[in-house]
């Protein structure tokens, strides 16, 4: 089970390349290093199961989560590319894709975001992040967040499955969000929907979550 991860949220201009590289080293290359260690023996034994804790943000990018989403997209692409070869050796790969989870991990990300210096971005972007994104994120967590125990139960079901799924989303509330991409290959539907949620209907969104 690969579960190492760090988070990052905020305007792109306010994040250093060193911090981005460190995040990718944990979230993506940490998984790669693990798989390189365990896969050869699993192939020799012709049996095994690699379970990767990914994220709904590996399927759908979310505003102000650019680098974190990129790391999870990398995880998803890596596993999607590897799974066919692995199946030839009777090795299963499963991606567990949670939405928000109420842990110290998430709390730390948002605490750091609230204390960060936004002088390197323009005032409008800083205002959007602090007064729209952070406020909405708190409502999303309060309404849709899952407990670590819930994610553990989902992961256990994936591990014990007779035919392990390649992808398993833990929160059905996020299925429509991920489906928007496939409904319109041009990306216009997804982009328009998220733009309106963030900039036009944010008050309605917060009220519905509460």
Catalytic residues: 68
Tell me how far apart the alpha carbons of residues 140 and 63 are, in angstroms, rounded to a whole number: 14
- Cα angle vertex 84, ends 80, 85, to 5°? 115
Q: Cβ contacts of residue 154 below 8 Å, gap of 6+?
A: 96, 98, 168, 170
Helical residues (DSSP H) of 29-174, grouped into ranges = 30-45, 66-88, 104-115, 123-128, 134-144, 148-160
User: Regarding beta strands 167-169 and 48-53, do their DSSP bridges make them parallel or antiparallel, or are they unpaired?
Assistant: unpaired
3-state secondary structure of 121: coil
**What are the φ and ψ backbone dihedral angles of 99, each rounded to 5 degrees?**
-90, -145
Q: Cβ contacts of residue 122 below 8 Å, gap of 6+?
A: none
**What are the φ and ψ backbone dihedral angles of 49, each rounded to 5 degrees?**
-150, 120
């Amino acid at each position: 089970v690969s579960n190492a991860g760090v988070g990052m949220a905020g305007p792109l201009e306010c994040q250093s390349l060193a911090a981005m590289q460190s995040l990718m080293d944990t979230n993506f290359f940490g998984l790669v290093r693990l798989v390189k260690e365990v896969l050869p023996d699993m192939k020799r034994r012709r049996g095994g199961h690699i379970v990767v804790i990914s994220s709904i943000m590996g399927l759908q990018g979310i505003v102000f989560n650019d680098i974190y989403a990129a790391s999870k997209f990398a995880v998803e692409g890596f596993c999607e590319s590897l799974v066919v070869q692995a199946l030839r050796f009777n090795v299963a790969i499963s991606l567990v894709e949670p939405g928000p989870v109420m842990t110290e991990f998430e709390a730390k990300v948002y605490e750091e975001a609230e204390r960060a210096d936004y002088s390197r971005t323009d005032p409008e972007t800083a205002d959007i992040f602090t007064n729209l994104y952070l406020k909405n994120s708190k409502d999303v967590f309060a309404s849709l967040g899952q407990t670590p125990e819930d994610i553990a139960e989902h992961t256990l079901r994936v591990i014990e499955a007779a035919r392990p799924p390649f992808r398993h989303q833990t929160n059905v509330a996020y299925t429509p969000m991920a489906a928007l991409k496939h409904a319109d290959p041009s990306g216009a539907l997804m982009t328009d929907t998220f733009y309106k949620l963030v900039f036009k209907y944010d008050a309605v969104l917060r009220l519905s979550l509460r």
